[in-house]
């Protein structure tokens, strides 16, 4: 009996091993786990990404995948990653530094595979839901940690930040808050009041957390832009005017009742004055120093830049004999455009902006996937004015996952529309 049961199990495992659908389902599950773990852990994300890549290998249609790479949506991220590889050839940095800087650009190579897989998968929405649920759980723990700091999952945690840092947390919460607006509006138009109210309440929860617990200044700048784009695309002018008036009123109310919001906003002017008058290395002052020096580095090698991994050495050289903010040395100019410009010159900047533009154009039209993809690209573009968010871990993976999954869903929808229209036209 035991031998028969063992043979049955082996036969079942062999059938599952050779089942294309089972492998595709496994890839979907690992994508869901990547999204769920992203707000919490870097090591888990790396492990689940590796598992996703392995699970897509069996029965992989290499010819279809190679054909998909011709599309600019796939080709441009690959080209940017390859430029980073080529940049190692003329960089003066040690090879250990060049290879270390290459790592963050490797995630761009996963984007075409996500596009290919989710053009064929029907579980993209589940991935988005997993990320939303994970961020909601993080928001709940953020409130707990604000009152009970000992509940934080890391030592020396910032106020209301259970894991990672307040910048990553703010970007995740801002994206979720804005992304929920589209399905809420669609539900309201269908007269489904309670589901819409639930989504709006969850969106408000993210916003309230950012107002009263912690928020990054980058999120304060970029979130209104994302909301404005949503309103222009999906609301009537009368509704836009009503919502704008309500937003002004609520912003004033939030300013009045939230000391944390006032403190965060007031640091803009304070940081600038401290830097300008006393050369103190404040956050804003340092960015101004980094950007000024970065423009000079770019002017020294405008076509192909100084090479991959060259940024820190250039700042070290520029800091000799300086003091205060001017003496700070970094390997990141806190601006994605300048990060590319220093290392690969105009070639890197053109590739970066062409990729952003092509991905923006991919998300034209209606639908949840279209809206989520558009918000992900917009957020990355605007936050990259103040940080190198394409190569930062959290924000970079949000971009790769968001564009890859939403883009695959959009491409699948367009392919389906083409398949249904063609027979009628013929």
Whether 150 shows a pLDDT value over 80: the answer reads yes
CA atoms within 13 A on the CB side of 29: 9
| Residue boundaries of the structural domains of the chain | 122-268
Per-residue model confidence as pLDDT tens digits over 300-355? 999 999 999 999 899 888 877 777 767 777 888 889 999 999 999 999 999 999 99
Please calculate the CA angle 51-57-60 and round it to the nearest 5 degrees.
145
Q: In the prediction, which pLDDT does 402 show?
A: 95
21-41 residues labelled b (16+ CB within 10 A) or e (exposed): eebbebbbbbbbbbbbbbbbe
Report the C-alpha gap between 94 and 126 in whole angstroms. 43
Q: Say if residues 183 and 198 touch (Cβ distance below 8 Å).
A: no
Averaged pLDDT, 22-48: 92
Residue 424 has pLDDT above 50, yes or no: no
On whether the pTM is more than 0.75, the answer is yes
Q: 3 pLDDT exceeds 60?
A: no
Residues 6+ apart with CB under 8 A from 25: none
For the residues 107-121, what does the mean pLDDT come to? Answer: 93
Report how far residue 336's alpha carbon sits from residue 356's, in angstroms, rounded to the nearest whole number.
Answer: 12
Among 242, 159, 254, 263, which Cα is nearest to 207's?
254
> Where is average pLDDT lowest: 138-147, 199-208, 256-265?
256-265
Specify burial of residue 245 (Cβ count, 10 A radius: 0-12, 13-18, 19+).
Answer: exposed
pLDDT value at 9 more than 90: no
Q: Tell me the average pLDDT of the chain.
A: 83
- Give the span between the Cα atoms of 269 and 208, in whole angstroms: 24
Q: Which tens digits make up the pLDDT trace of 252-311?
A: 655 555 565 556 555 655 665 555 555 556 666 677 788 888 899 999 999 999 999 999
Confidence bin at 11 (pLDDT 50/70/90): low
């Amino acid at each position: 009996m035991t031998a028969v049961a063992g043979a049955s199990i082996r036969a079942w495992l062999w059938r599952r091993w050779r089942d294309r659908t089972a492998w595709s389902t496994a890839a979907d599950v690992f994508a869901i786990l990547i999204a769920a773990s992203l707000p919490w852990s870097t090591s888990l994300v790396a492990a689940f990404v590796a598992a996703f890549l392995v699970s897509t290998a069996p029965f992989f249609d290499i010819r279809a995948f190679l054909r998909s790479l011709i599309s600019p949506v796939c080709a441009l991220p690959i080209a940017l990653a390859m430029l980073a590889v080529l940049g190692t050839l003329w960089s003066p940095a040690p090879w250990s530094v060049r290879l270390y800087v290459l790592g963050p650009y490797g995630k761009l190579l996963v984007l075409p595979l996500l596009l290919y897989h989710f053009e064929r998968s029907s579980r993209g929405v589940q991935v988005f839901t997993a990320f939303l649920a994970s961020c909601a759980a993080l928001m709940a723990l953020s409130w707990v940690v604000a009152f009970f700091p000992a509940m934080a999952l890391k030592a020396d945690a910032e106020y209301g930040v259970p894991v990672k840092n307040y910048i990553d947390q703010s970007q995740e919460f801002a994206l979720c808050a804005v992304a929920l607006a589209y399905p809420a509006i669609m539900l309201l138009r269908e007269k489904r009041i309670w589901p819409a109210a639930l989504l709006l309440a969850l969106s408000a929860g993210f916003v309230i957390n950012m107002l009263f617990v912690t928020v990054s200044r980058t999120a304060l700048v970029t979130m209104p832009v994302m909301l404005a784009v949503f309103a222009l695309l999906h609301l009537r002018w009368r509704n836009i005017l009503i919502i704008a008036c309500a937003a002004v009123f609520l912003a004033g109310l939030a300013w009045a009742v939230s000391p944390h919001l006032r403190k965060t906003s007031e640091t803009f002017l304070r940081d600038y004055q401290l830097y300008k008058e006393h050369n103190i290395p404040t956050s804003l002052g340092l960015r101004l120093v980094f950007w000024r020096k970065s423009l000079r580095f770019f002017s020294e090698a405008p076509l192909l830049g100084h090479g991959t991994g060259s940024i820190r050495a250039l700042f070290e050289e520029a800091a000799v004999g300086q003091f205060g903010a001017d003496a700070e040395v970094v390997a990141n100019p806190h601006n994605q455009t300048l990060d590319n410009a220093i290392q690969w010159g105009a070639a890197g900047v053109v590739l970066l902006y062409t990729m952003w533009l092509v991905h923006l154009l991919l998300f034209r039209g209606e639908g949840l996937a279209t809206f989520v993809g558009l918000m992900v690209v917009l957020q990355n573009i605007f936050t990259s004015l103040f940080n190198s968010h394409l190569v930062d871990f959290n924000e970079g993976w949000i971009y790769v996952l968001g564009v890859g999954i939403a883009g695959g869903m959009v491409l699948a929808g367009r392919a389906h529309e083409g398949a249904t229209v063609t027979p009628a036209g013929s």
